[in-house]
Amino acid sequence: TMWASYITAYARMEILNYMLQAGETLVYGDTDSVFIRGELETSKELGGMKLEYEHVNIEVYGPKAYFIHDHDDILAVKCKGIPSNERLKYLIEENVTFMRPTGLLEAGRLKPKNDGSPYYPAEWRTITKIQHMSEPKRSLLTPDFDFPAHSLTVPFAVENL
């Protein structure tokens, strides 16, 4: 919808502004968050940057693939498309196999099964994900870097526009 496009564009502009403010202290940025080695202005107001983690380390494996820890505990593990209970295994072992229901559009795109029958929406199937970090879409500062950082996230709503 039109409003969703406006909100997404506004959020991207705000995140870009925070990334530019961070400058050399920027470690990693994503759709709704930035990780920095330093300080940025934070706010608990809607549309402002909220401090999520302070004095933590982030290990980035690629776009949307990282984990946050404080040397004693793992605080968060993020991997797009991987179930939460399999994410750390995926980052460490570089591959994981899990079950997932087939999506509506995905069912139409998939090749037929070995027996010739089609996949149906909501049909459970085995998925194997393998990291392909030898050919990343974006370059990292250094491979497998581990930086002390602060995590900031920004929530948005229609009222911000």
- The number of C-alpha atoms within 13 Å of 133 and in the hemisphere containing its C-beta is 18
Separation between Cα atoms, residue 90 and residue 56, nearest integer Å: 21
% of the chain exceeding 90 in pLDDT: 32
Helix (H), strand (E) at residue 67: strand 65-69
Amino acid at 9: A
What is the three-class DSSP state of 101?
Answer: strand
Q: Which residues contact 76 (CB under 8 A, 6 or more apart)?
A: 53, 67, 68
Torsion of CA 35, 66, 10, 4, to 10 degrees: -160
| Per-residue pLDDT tens over the stretch 92-124 | 888 999 999 999 999 999 999 999 999 999 999
Q: Does position 150 have pLDDT exceeding 90, yes or no?
A: no
**Per-residue confidence (pLDDT) for residue 123, from 0 to 100:** 96
pLDDT band for position 153 (50/70/90)?
Answer: very low
Q: Which residues contact 73 (CB under 8 A, 6 or more apart)?
A: none
Q: Which residues contact 127 (CB under 8 A, 6 or more apart)?
A: 97, 98, 99, 100
pLDDT band for position 161 (50/70/90)?
Answer: very low
What would the two tokens of residue 12 be?
């991207």
